[in-house]
Amino acid sequence: MTDVTEKPGTVGDGIQAPNAGWSFAGEASVNFDAHVSKSVPLYDSGHELVEELSDFFVADGSVVYDLGCSTGALTSRLAQRHRHHNVRVIGVDCEPDMVAVARQRCRPYDAVEVVLADLAQLSLERADFVVLYYTLQFVPPKFRQDVLNEIYSALNWGGALMMFEKVRAPDARFQDIATQLYTEYKLSRGYTAEDIVAKSRSLKRVLEPFSTQGNHDLLARAGFVDVMTVQKYVCFEGFLAIK
């Protein structure tokens, strides 16, 4: 049998990844912003929404976390938005190449610290606003509850978590519809069928989405009671959870 992991496939935007071997290192870190903005519906408008909602929770003295900050795009936007407040913005990512890019991007902001760390082993400071922007889906399922428990514990009363995730549909028929709609979306954005298949193969055991209900259950077990969907496009969803 041929070892299908040996030859990386092109997934679009100058990025190659092998079967079950997607990585955020190397060329993925360099081309990440262009790739994710094109392949995830409402990605950029989701950043705008996070910024706007942060106004309800961030004040002088606040600590803000961007967990899974990748290239620091959202981290820097939050720092810029609250530049006139005495706010600390802490970006966290487990990929050294991403951290290097994020630190360079956030260099103009004295209030920003970008930390290299694994979320599953991270202890958070007291905070008023925490963002998981398409991050938890890449955390191994066995650690996700621990991550959310830590976030809930660190949040001040009245603080908020904004969590965006790719989500599975509630049953097979809806999942089939969602998958086909997303395939059509990516084709409309200029990806080839080969790109789409290669990306899907590369994400095996790397990206593990839960359903909307599964995410609600995680949040509830962590202690969150007040949870609302604030953005939704087929299989992509943003949640606002307030402590």
- Mean pLDDT value across residues 116-122: 95
- The yes-or-no verdict on residue 162 having pLDDT over 90 is yes
Express each pLDDT in 210-239 by its tens digit.
Answer: 999 999 999 999 999 999 999 999 999 999
Query: Which residue did the predictor score with more confidence, 206 or 22?
Result: 206
- Angstrom distances, CA of residue 225 to CA of 64, 161, 184: 21, 12, 36
HSE-up of 217 (CA within 13 Å, CB side)?
A: 7
Q: Which amino acid is at 231?
A: Q
- Whole-angstrom distance between the N-terminal and C-terminal Cα of the chain? 52
Provide the pLDDT confidence category of residue 14 given band limits of 50, 70 and 90. Answer: confident
- Contact yes or no for 160/236 (Cβ under 8 A): no
Express each pLDDT in 51-97 by its tens digit.
Answer: 999 999 999 999 999 999 999 999 999 999 999 999 999 999 999 99
Task: Phi first, then psi: give them for residue 56, nearest 5 degrees.
Answer: -80, -10
